[in-house]
Structure 1
Protein backbone atom coordinates (compact mmCIF):
# COMPACT_ATOMS: atom_id res chain seq x y z
CA UNK A 1 0.00 0.00 0.00
CA UNK A 2 2.85 2.36 0.84
CA UNK A 3 4.43 1.79 -2.59
CA UNK A 4 1.09 2.49 -4.31
CA UNK A 5 0.55 5.78 -2.44
CA UNK A 6 4.07 6.97 -3.30
CA UNK A 7 3.40 6.23 -6.97
CA UNK A 8 0.10 8.07 -6.77
CA UNK A 9 1.75 11.07 -5.11
CA UNK A 10 4.49 11.09 -7.75
CA UNK A 11 1.99 10.87 -10.59
CA UNK A 12 -0.11 13.63 -9.05
CA UNK A 13 2.93 15.88 -8.69
CA UNK A 14 3.96 15.22 -12.29
CA UNK A 15 0.46 16.04 -13.54
CA UNK A 16 0.36 19.24 -11.48
CA UNK A 17 3.77 20.28 -12.83
CA UNK A 18 2.73 19.57 -16.43
CA UNK A 19 -0.31 21.83 -16.13
CA UNK A 20 1.92 24.71 -14.97
CA UNK A 21 4.08 24.61 -18.10
CA UNK A 22 3.26 27.28 -20.68
CA UNK A 23 1.13 25.99 -23.51
CA UNK A 24 2.49 26.71 -26.96
CA UNK A 25 -0.21 28.19 -29.09
CA UNK A 26 -0.82 26.57 -32.41
CA UNK A 27 0.22 28.54 -35.47
CA UNK A 28 -2.56 30.69 -36.87
CA UNK A 29 -1.90 29.72 -40.49
CA UNK A 30 -4.43 32.14 -41.97
CA UNK A 31 -2.98 35.12 -40.07
CA UNK A 32 0.60 34.17 -40.97
CA UNK A 33 -0.23 33.71 -44.65
CA UNK A 34 -2.15 37.02 -44.71
CA UNK A 35 0.83 38.88 -43.19
CA UNK A 36 3.19 37.10 -45.59
CA UNK A 37 1.10 38.15 -48.60
CA UNK A 38 0.37 41.67 -47.32
CA UNK A 39 4.10 42.31 -47.05
CA UNK A 40 4.70 40.94 -50.56
CA UNK A 41 7.01 38.21 -49.31
CA UNK A 42 5.69 36.04 -52.17
CA UNK A 43 7.67 38.20 -54.61
CA UNK A 44 10.88 36.58 -53.39
CA UNK A 45 9.78 33.49 -51.44
CA UNK A 46 7.63 30.45 -52.08
CA UNK A 47 6.86 27.58 -49.75
CA UNK A 48 8.72 24.97 -51.79
CA UNK A 49 10.36 26.69 -54.77
CA UNK A 50 13.39 28.96 -54.83
CA UNK A 51 12.70 32.38 -56.31
CA UNK A 52 15.10 35.27 -55.80
CA UNK A 53 15.00 34.26 -52.12
CA UNK A 54 15.12 30.77 -50.62
CA UNK A 55 12.04 28.58 -50.32
CA UNK A 56 10.43 28.57 -46.89
CA UNK A 57 11.19 24.85 -46.64
CA UNK A 58 14.90 25.65 -46.98
CA UNK A 59 14.65 28.35 -44.30
CA UNK A 60 12.80 25.93 -42.02
CA UNK A 61 15.50 23.28 -42.50
CA UNK A 62 18.15 25.80 -41.49
CA UNK A 63 16.45 27.01 -38.30
CA UNK A 64 13.86 24.43 -37.20
CA UNK A 65 14.63 22.75 -33.90
CA UNK A 66 17.35 25.23 -32.95
CA UNK A 67 16.83 27.04 -29.65
CA UNK A 68 17.20 30.43 -31.33
CA UNK A 69 15.48 29.48 -34.61
CA UNK A 70 12.38 31.59 -34.06
CA UNK A 71 14.52 34.52 -32.91
CA UNK A 72 16.75 34.26 -36.02
CA UNK A 73 13.74 34.28 -38.37
CA UNK A 74 12.22 37.27 -36.58
CA UNK A 75 15.55 39.10 -36.74
CA UNK A 76 15.75 38.44 -40.48
CA UNK A 77 12.28 39.85 -41.16
CA UNK A 78 12.51 42.88 -38.85
CA UNK A 79 16.02 44.35 -39.25
CA UNK A 80 16.53 44.72 -43.04
CA UNK A 81 19.85 42.88 -43.22
CA UNK A 82 21.72 42.66 -46.49
CA UNK A 83 20.90 39.36 -48.20
CA UNK A 84 22.24 37.67 -51.28
CA UNK A 85 19.64 36.79 -53.87
CA UNK A 86 19.83 33.65 -55.96
CA UNK A 87 21.45 35.60 -58.82
CA UNK A 88 24.26 36.72 -56.48
CA UNK A 89 23.25 40.34 -56.07
CA UNK A 90 22.86 41.89 -52.62
CA UNK A 91 19.89 43.84 -51.39
CA UNK A 92 18.25 44.84 -48.13
CA UNK A 93 15.70 42.32 -46.92
CA UNK A 94 12.28 43.93 -46.68
CA UNK A 95 11.05 44.60 -43.13
CA UNK A 96 7.68 43.15 -42.11
CA UNK A 97 5.19 45.95 -41.57
CA UNK A 98 4.17 45.11 -37.99
CA UNK A 99 5.62 45.62 -34.54
CA UNK A 100 3.19 43.13 -32.97
CA UNK A 101 5.40 40.50 -31.29
CA UNK A 102 2.59 37.92 -31.35
CA UNK A 103 2.13 38.36 -35.12
CA UNK A 104 5.90 38.19 -35.70
CA UNK A 105 6.24 35.02 -33.61
CA UNK A 106 3.26 33.49 -35.41
CA UNK A 107 4.80 34.28 -38.82
CA UNK A 108 8.17 32.88 -37.75
CA UNK A 109 6.53 29.72 -36.40
CA UNK A 110 4.58 29.31 -39.64
CA UNK A 111 7.78 29.64 -41.67
CA UNK A 112 9.50 27.11 -39.40
CA UNK A 113 6.57 24.70 -39.79
CA UNK A 114 7.12 24.35 -43.53
Structure 2
Protein backbone atom coordinates (compact mmCIF):
# COMPACT_ATOMS: atom_id res chain seq x y z
CA UNK A 1 0.00 0.00 0.00
CA UNK A 2 2.79 2.40 0.91
CA UNK A 3 4.39 1.75 -2.46
CA UNK A 4 1.17 2.78 -4.31
CA UNK A 5 0.96 6.04 -2.39
CA UNK A 6 4.57 6.94 -3.17
CA UNK A 7 4.03 6.09 -6.84
CA UNK A 8 0.96 8.36 -6.96
CA UNK A 9 2.81 11.21 -5.28
CA UNK A 10 5.74 10.87 -7.66
CA UNK A 11 3.44 10.67 -10.67
CA UNK A 12 1.46 13.73 -9.58
CA UNK A 13 4.66 15.68 -8.92
CA UNK A 14 6.12 14.80 -12.32
CA UNK A 15 2.86 15.69 -14.06
CA UNK A 16 2.69 19.08 -12.31
CA UNK A 17 6.33 19.79 -13.14
CA UNK A 18 5.76 18.83 -16.80
CA UNK A 19 2.75 21.11 -17.13
CA UNK A 20 4.65 24.00 -15.51
CA UNK A 21 7.52 23.56 -17.97
CA UNK A 22 5.14 23.71 -20.94
CA UNK A 23 3.51 26.96 -19.82
CA UNK A 24 5.23 30.11 -21.08
CA UNK A 25 6.75 32.20 -18.35
CA UNK A 26 6.46 35.98 -18.13
CA UNK A 27 10.14 36.23 -19.00
CA UNK A 28 9.74 34.36 -22.28
CA UNK A 29 6.39 35.88 -23.22
CA UNK A 30 7.93 39.02 -24.70
CA UNK A 31 10.90 40.19 -26.73
CA UNK A 32 12.77 42.68 -24.56
CA UNK A 33 15.04 43.85 -27.38
CA UNK A 34 12.08 44.60 -29.65
CA UNK A 35 10.29 46.43 -26.83
CA UNK A 36 13.35 48.56 -26.04
CA UNK A 37 13.80 49.33 -29.74
CA UNK A 38 10.16 50.43 -30.01
CA UNK A 39 10.53 52.62 -26.92
CA UNK A 40 13.73 54.21 -28.22
CA UNK A 41 12.29 54.72 -31.71
CA UNK A 42 9.37 56.60 -30.18
CA UNK A 43 11.53 58.70 -27.81
CA UNK A 44 9.87 57.10 -24.75
CA UNK A 45 13.25 57.17 -23.00
CA UNK A 46 13.26 60.98 -23.11
CA UNK A 47 10.55 61.00 -20.44
CA UNK A 48 10.96 57.54 -18.87
CA UNK A 49 13.93 55.57 -17.57
CA UNK A 50 13.87 52.03 -16.32
CA UNK A 51 14.65 52.83 -12.69
CA UNK A 52 14.58 56.59 -12.14
CA UNK A 53 12.05 59.35 -12.56
CA UNK A 54 12.61 61.77 -15.40
CA UNK A 55 9.84 63.91 -16.86
CA UNK A 56 7.60 60.84 -16.38
CA UNK A 57 7.72 57.99 -13.87
CA UNK A 58 10.27 55.21 -14.15
CA UNK A 59 9.13 52.06 -15.92
CA UNK A 60 9.65 50.18 -12.64
CA UNK A 61 7.19 52.53 -10.95
CA UNK A 62 4.72 52.10 -13.81
CA UNK A 63 5.11 48.31 -13.56
CA UNK A 64 4.49 48.40 -9.81
CA UNK A 65 1.25 50.30 -10.42
CA UNK A 66 -0.14 47.85 -12.98
CA UNK A 67 1.60 44.52 -12.28
CA UNK A 68 -0.75 41.76 -11.21
CA UNK A 69 -3.88 43.62 -12.33
CA UNK A 70 -6.06 41.85 -14.87
CA UNK A 71 -6.26 45.00 -17.00
CA UNK A 72 -2.66 46.14 -16.50
CA UNK A 73 -1.54 45.35 -20.02
CA UNK A 74 -4.59 47.00 -21.61
CA UNK A 75 -4.23 50.12 -19.45
CA UNK A 76 -0.62 50.51 -20.55
CA UNK A 77 -1.57 50.04 -24.20
CA UNK A 78 -4.34 52.61 -23.83
CA UNK A 79 -1.83 55.02 -22.29
CA UNK A 80 0.51 54.95 -25.26
CA UNK A 81 -2.12 54.68 -28.02
CA UNK A 82 -4.73 57.32 -27.06
CA UNK A 83 -2.84 60.44 -25.90
CA UNK A 84 -4.37 60.71 -22.40
CA UNK A 85 -3.45 63.66 -20.22
CA UNK A 86 -0.65 62.66 -17.84
CA UNK A 87 0.85 64.42 -14.86
CA UNK A 88 4.58 65.11 -15.17
CA UNK A 89 7.11 65.02 -12.36
CA UNK A 90 7.03 68.85 -12.15
CA UNK A 91 3.24 68.79 -11.62
CA UNK A 92 2.33 70.01 -15.10
CA UNK A 93 0.02 68.03 -17.35
CA UNK A 94 0.40 67.20 -21.03
CA UNK A 95 -0.84 64.68 -23.57
CA UNK A 96 1.08 61.41 -23.55
CA UNK A 97 2.85 60.85 -26.86
CA UNK A 98 1.46 58.19 -29.21
CA UNK A 99 3.67 55.32 -30.29
CA UNK A 100 4.09 54.85 -34.03
CA UNK A 101 2.74 51.32 -34.35
CA UNK A 102 -0.79 50.04 -34.85
CA UNK A 103 0.43 46.44 -34.51
CA UNK A 104 -1.28 45.05 -31.39
CA UNK A 105 1.47 42.44 -30.96
CA UNK A 106 4.12 45.15 -30.77
CA UNK A 107 1.95 47.12 -28.34
CA UNK A 108 1.43 44.06 -26.13
CA UNK A 109 5.13 43.27 -26.27
CA UNK A 110 6.01 46.77 -25.06
CA UNK A 111 3.42 46.59 -22.27
CA UNK A 112 4.61 43.14 -21.19
CA UNK A 113 8.23 44.31 -21.11
CA UNK A 114 7.28 47.28 -18.91
CA UNK A 115 5.27 45.00 -16.61
CA UNK A 116 8.25 42.67 -16.26
CA UNK A 117 10.43 45.35 -14.67
Aligned residues: 113
> 1:103 aligns to what?
106
State the distance in 2 between where 1:23 and 1:43 align. 32
Alignment of 1:86-97 (within 5 A): 86-97=89-100
Using the alignment, how far apart are the partners of 2:52 and 2:89 within structure 1? 12
* Residue number in structure 1 paired with 2:76: 73
CA deviation string 1:60-111 (max 9, x = no partner): 0000011000011001010000111011111100001000010000000000
Distance 2:57 2:24 in 1: 31
Q: CA deviation at 1:26?
A: 2.0
Q: Distance in 1 between matches of 2:60 and 2:110?
A: 14
Tell me the residue number matched to 2:46.
43
1:27 Cα deviation from its structure 2 partner? 1.4
Q: How much is the aligned-residue C-alpha RMSD, in angstroms?
A: 2.4
Q: TM-score, normalised by structure 1?
A: 0.80
